[in-house]
Amino acid sequence: MKDFSFNLSTRIEFGKGYVTKAGEIIKEFGAQKVIVITDKGLIKAGIVAKVTDSLQASGVEYIIYDGVQPNPKDVDCIAAGDMAREYGADFVVAIGGGSSMDTAKAVAALITNPVALPEIMKPYKVPIAPAPLLCVPTTAGTGSEVTSFAVITLTEEQRKSCMFDDKLRPEIALIDPELLLGVPGPIIASTGIDALTHAIEAYTCKLATPITDAFALHAIRYIGRSLRTLMYERTYESAEEMMMASLMAGIAFGFSDIASVHALAEAIGGYYDTPHGVANSIFLPVVFEYDIPANVEKHKDVALALDIDPVGKSDREIAQAAVEWIETLSKDVGIPTLKELGYIEPERFEQFADVCMINVSTPSNARAVDKQAYIDLFKKTYKK
């Protein structure tokens, strides 16, 4: 067993209708001025009002920044950070998926650190504790409500980069599974497989620990039995299990790591703005298959957690069956293939492989990957 630290400082509040508790929780912190970080779609969907009504009812003053874009951009973090500083915000609320939560983490850090964004866009480079952050996740995907990362797109460089520091972990994750019931089908699909990717990479990567394994395997079980139900039947129970899976997968990868699926996904996401969950879903089966030889046992465990029938199969065959299981799930929920995206230029695979090689999570992948291996993974995925 390897040595490790595990300190989940985030308070988790999880339950039906809990979104209306935001005001009373924030009041406990003695916050005077709150900045709400979100996007226009979530305002239109009526989700932001549920939180702001609760702030009003508790007498908490607030302003709203609604300029978050998918694959959040550095320029928007800077604009929101300037708005927060001018307003004198002392507390941050994120409402949305990973894009809103990651923008909010950058804003919380910019409120207390009198520097420009590039100075804190480096590992362990948030010197002063950020303003307290409460996250209301509205997708079951990223788990950002409990992680110490923020993935931000550097617009000039056309690549995604990461700020990470334990101080970035949100104070509170306020999780209301009911918010998932109105999410459009394609977003449920891609964010759900994103959560599955987090759980699988956390479990199979080199930095996994027994604690992260427990969270990851449980998340895989929940997703295996609930993603299709949420997609097609919209039951509250499936929303509950998917929100819990996303949270547990976030805890798992937050204390172990992600790996090569993310390196590939972020390379094309940074360049083409491909939605993060879609990109992860596309690369997951190919990387899973590539990784099996490095750790058959753990890949078999994933298959068993997905409830794949092991009877009459060798360990290797059980693990391999998970590849087909994931591919079928992707087709069933309408994930496009890499080629079907329609804008991928295979002549850039070498350039993207270079980006993968500098991804901080590449060394964690279960099986060693070099530039040629990444090029081959791009080519193999493109043929599917």
Residues that bind ligand NAD (CB under 6 A): 39, 41-42, 45, 47, 70-72, 96-100, 102, 138-139, 141-144, 147, 149-151, 179, 182-184, 187, 191, 194, 276-277
Pick between residue 54 and residue 147 the one whose CB is nearest to ligand NAD. Answer: 147
The DSSP element (H or E) to which 262 belongs, if any, is helix 260-272
Which is nearer to ligand NAD, 211 or 304 (by Cβ)? 211
Residue number with CB closer to ligand NAD (9 or 372): 9
Give Cα 202 to chain centroid, integer Å. Answer: 12
Burial class (CB in 10 A: 0-12, 13-18, 19+), 75: middle
| One-letter amino acid of 183 | V
Give least dist CB 274 to ligand NAD, A. Answer: 10
Q: Minimal distance in Å, beta carbon 63 to ligand NAD?
A: 19
Query: What is the token pair recorded at 117?
Result: 């964004």
By beta-carbon proximity to ligand NAD, the closer residue of 209 and 320 is 209
Query: In angstroms, what is the minimal distance from the CB of 142 to ligand NAD?
Result: 4
Rounded least distance, CB 221 to ligand NAD, Å: 20
Q: How far is the CB of 360 from ligand NAD (least distance, A)?
A: 13
In angstroms, rounded to a whole number, what is the distance separating the alpha carbons of residues 217 and 251?
12
Q: For residues 217 and 196, give the distance between their C-alpha atoms in angstroms, rounded to a whole number.
A: 10
How many Å apart are CA 35 and CA 70, to the nearest integer?
A: 19
Shortest approach of ligand NAD to residue 311 CB, angstroms?
Answer: 36
Burial profile 299-319: b = 16 or more Cβ within 10 angstroms, e = fewer: bbbbbbbbebeeeeeeeeebb
Q: Residue 187 or residue 199: which is nearer to ligand NAD going by CB?
A: 187
- Distance CA(161)–CA(230), nearest Å, equals 31
For 379, the token pair is 């080519």
Is the Cβ of residue 247 or residue 306 nearer to ligand NAD in the bound state?
247
Q: Which is nearer to ligand NAD, 219 or 318 (CB)?
A: 219
Smallest separation (angstroms) from ligand NAD to the CB of 147: 3
> Element (H or E) spanning 362, and its range?
none
DSSP string, 138-189: -SSS--GGG-SEEEEEETTTTEEEEEE-GGGS-SEEEE-GGGGGGS-HHHHH
Q: Identify each DSSP E strand in the chain by its residue range.
A: 11-14, 33-37, 61-65, 91-96, 133-137, 149-154, 159-164, 172-175
**Nearest distance, CB of residue 309 and ligand NAD, angstroms:** 31
What is the C-alpha R_g of the chain? Answer: 20
Indicate the residue among 242 and 308 with the shorter CB distance to ligand NAD: 242
